Amino acid sequence: MALWILSFCIMAIETWGSVHFFETFMDRKRTGRLDKCKYAVLYIFCFAAACLGGYFVPMGIKVLLTVLILMGFCAVFYKAEWKQCIFFSVLNYSLLFLTDLFMMQMENMFFSQNDGFVFLILPSKMIWLCVVFTVRKIWKGRNNYGELSRREWLKFSMIPLLTVASMLHMFFCKSAEAKVQTAYLFLSVGLIFINILVIELMQGILEKEELLRESALAGQKKESQIAHYRDMQAVYERQGRKMHDYKNQIRTMQVLLKKGDTQAAVALAERLTESISVEMSAVSTNHPVADAVLNQKFHAAREQGVSMTFRVGDMGGMRLNEEETVILISNLLDNAIHECVKVARQGRNAVIHVKLVQEGGKLIFSVRNPVVEKVQVTEGTGLSNVKAVADKYGGDFAVSCDAKKFQAVVMF
């Protein structure tokens, strides 16, 4: 009876520690009421696997079954891809099993009877919890695993997998020789430290990738500022030309009025007023930076024979700062204008459809434009900087292209 009570307590500790381990690396999903009973769910399935491993299935099958349970648990309760679920599930179980093996070797070396391990089970779990909290202290909450390539994930996964193979070997190939037991003891400790170093190495790579991304984003910001100044210069030059035209038209109206041709003067004044209205405010979103960029791109496109249609909403509460707003809007519109100029040269209708609204608490910005041929999407077109802005706010960025049109959508 005492052993059953101890087993229930041990399984509760393992469940609690596993959940804390996973929450170190992965963000929770919104699972509603199911989230409140996640401890119970993991407890029940892991306890069932432990019982099967003790009486019905071989140890290797039990290890595989437990890892599959942990993977399924991660997939249900956390925002993670399958490769992340596999990696962290194997890593968690490896550390758990290694601490058990460490204490088992201690039993073989210092206890003469086989029941010595019973007294070392709780210390084993305490060591494992210390390892979990050490990992939590090392990890700094960088969960942008999208920056890791498949090759990097494969390299990282090799360590936990080799750890599982090594610990199974140590478990099944027991030996009474003191040298072998000592070797197993040091191997267990070494593997624990190696797995912790893998976590630290992963964090270092993520930090490096983040610095590179921030550096690229800073470079893009500088380029955007320079482009903004050039655009303002183009606006001033265009305004100068327009002002010259307006003066000539005003003089023409004066001549018409002096001649008494008021009807012609009124018609000319209406056309002039309409032209000024279009020139000054093609689109209004209640956001000064967004308005400036959209209007500037609208006029730049019109001068090259490209039209734009807008569907915009009130952007007064937009979360983006000024630089991010310029990066987001300018990059997508510059790419669209570049492609539409090619379309216009072929004599086809070149129209860019722009949507900038806030719906359901989310900002949606989409740009759709025709293309001459299917465009090969590359990061060199500035799309990586747009993705960086979307990632910063936990949003999505999708691009699609065929032989007729190109479309980019940002949502967060």
pLDDT at 84 over 80: yes
Half-sphere exposure of 389 (CA within 13 A, CB side): 28
CATH of range 285-412; options 3.30.565.10, 3.10.310.10, 3.40.50.2300, 3.40.50.11270: 3.30.565.10
Dihedral pair phi/psi, residue 399, rounded to 5°: -130, 135
> In sequence order, what are the beta bridge partners of 406?
369, 401
Report the C-alpha gap between 341 and 304 in whole angstroms. 7
- Most confident of the ranges 95-104, 230-239, 290-299, 355-364: 355-364
Report pLDDT for 116. 47
Nearest CA among 119, 120, 115, 4 for reference residue 54: 4
H-state helical runs in 26-58: 33-36, 38-55
Residue 326, CA atoms < 13 Å, CB-side half-sphere: 18
Span 235-247, average pLDDT: 63
Q: pTM for the complete prediction?
A: 0.53
**What is the distance between the alpha carbons of residues 130 and 119, in angstroms, rounded to a whole number?**
18
Q: What is the mean pLDDT of the chain?
A: 77
* Dihedral sign for Cα atoms in the order 367, 370, 374, 379: negative
C-alpha distances out from residue 338 to 165, 207, 279, 320, 369, Å: 55, 35, 22, 25, 10
DSSP 119: G
Indicate whether 280 pLDDT > 60: no
Strand, helix or coil for residue 396: strand
Beta carbons of 68 and 181 less than 8 angstroms apart: no
Give the lowest-confidence range in 150-159, 276-285, 394-403: 276-285
Mean pLDDT to the nearest integer, 311-327: 82
Length of the chain: 412
331, 364 in Cβ contact below 8 A? no
Residue with the bigger pLDDT between 308 and 146: it is 308
Is 237 a residue whose pLDDT tops 90?
A: no
393 secondary structure, DSSP code: T
pLDDT at 173: 75
Give me the half-sphere count of Cα atoms (radius 13 Å) on the Cβ side of residue 341.
10
Burial call 9-48: b when 16+ CB within 10 Å, e when fewer: ebbebbbbbbbebbebbbeeeeeeeeeeebeebbbebbbe
Instruction: Look at the block and give the residue holding tokens 């740009």.
Output: 367
Indicate whether 240 pLDDT > 70.
no
Where in the chain are the domains?
A: 2-215, 285-412
β-strands 78-79, 27-28 pairing? antiparallel
Confidence of residue 374 (pLDDT cuts 50, 70, 90): confident
